[in-house]
């Protein structure tokens, strides 16, 4: 994810739609309305430094998707939610644009979303929207993504021998520091990274969410 993401339209106010799986929702045409349920895999506001919205991500047994929203939603990791929204794309990534009146926090027990283990070379459209995990060597030193006084995130990369995977680390809004300790990601170090798989332009990337998403081995 990088600065300057532009959603193709403002937050819609859809009427209603039949409840479907996230995979079915992702297959709809851009502009279609969809209603899905899933467990929060990325907490609200986590990616604010890069997206400028207060969104979050959800996942079910079929797929995952980022929910673009500008309202403050109280939905910690593992919370089950129902979202009604419009299928859009931003930076090439498929998202569900919604609003506080179209998001329902369900009373189901919280569930820990387990990341999907992938190789760095298989980071592509097939896993977009999912929480994933890779293990490999740092192949590019971390570089700050800044513009003037604005700090958006940190770019780095990991390779397990199957191809390089871009890692984009957002900034904690309170501390203005990367959400993982990128200073420990020296080139050649073996690391385990968990994060949200997404697309920006023609590049796929993994975005960590919190400090425990990095393990230096």
Examine the pLDDT at 4 and tell me if it is beyond 60: no
Q: What percent of the chain has pLDDT over 90?
A: 88
In the prediction, which pLDDT does 174 show? 83
Label residue 15 by pLDDT band (50, 70, 90): confident
pLDDT digits (tens, 9 = 90+) for 64-83: 999 999 999 999 999 999 99
Label residue 7 by pLDDT band (50, 70, 90): very low
pLDDT digits (tens, 9 = 90+) for 183-205: 999 999 999 999 999 999 999 99
Domains of the chain: 22-105 (2.40.50.200), 116-216 (2.40.50.140)
| DSSP codes of every residue in the chain | --TT--BSSPPP------B--HHHHHTSPTT-EEEEEEEEEE-TTTTHHHHSS--EEEE-SS-EEEEE-SS-----TT-EEEEEEEEEEETTEEEEE--GGGEEE--SPP-PPPPEE--GGG-SGGGTTSEEEEEEEEEEEEEEEEETTEEEEEEEEEESSS-EEEEEEEEETTTTEESS-GGG--TT-EEEEEEEEEEETTEEEEE--SGGGEEE-
């Amino acid at each position: 994810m990088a600065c300057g993401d532009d959603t193709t339209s403002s937050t819609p106010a859809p009427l209603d739609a039949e409840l479907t799986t996230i995979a079915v929702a992702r297959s709809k045409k851009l502009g279609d309305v969809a209603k899905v349920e899933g467990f929060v895999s990325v907490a609200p506001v986590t990616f604010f430094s890069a997206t400028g919205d207060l969104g979050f991500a959800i996942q079910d047994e079929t797929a995952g998707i980022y929910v673009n929203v500008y309202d403050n939603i109280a939905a910690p990791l593992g919370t089950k939610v129902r979202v009604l929204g419009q299928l859009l794309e931003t930076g090439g990534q498929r998202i569900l644009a919604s609003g506080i009146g179209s998001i329902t926090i369900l009373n189901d027990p919280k569930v820990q979303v387990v990341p999907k283990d992938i190789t760095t070379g298989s980071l592509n459209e097939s896993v977009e929207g999912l929480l994933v995990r890779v293990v490999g060597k740092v192949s590019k030193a971390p570089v700050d993504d800044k513009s003037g006084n604005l700090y958006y995130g940190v770019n780095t990369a990991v390779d397990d021998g199957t191809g390089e995977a871009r890692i984009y680390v957002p900034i904690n809004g309170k501390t203005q520091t990367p959400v993982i300790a990128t200073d420990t990601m020296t080139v050649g170090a073996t690391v385990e990274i968990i994060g949200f798989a997404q697309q920006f332009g023609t590049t796929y990337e993994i975005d960590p969410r919190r400090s425990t998403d990095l393990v230096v081995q």
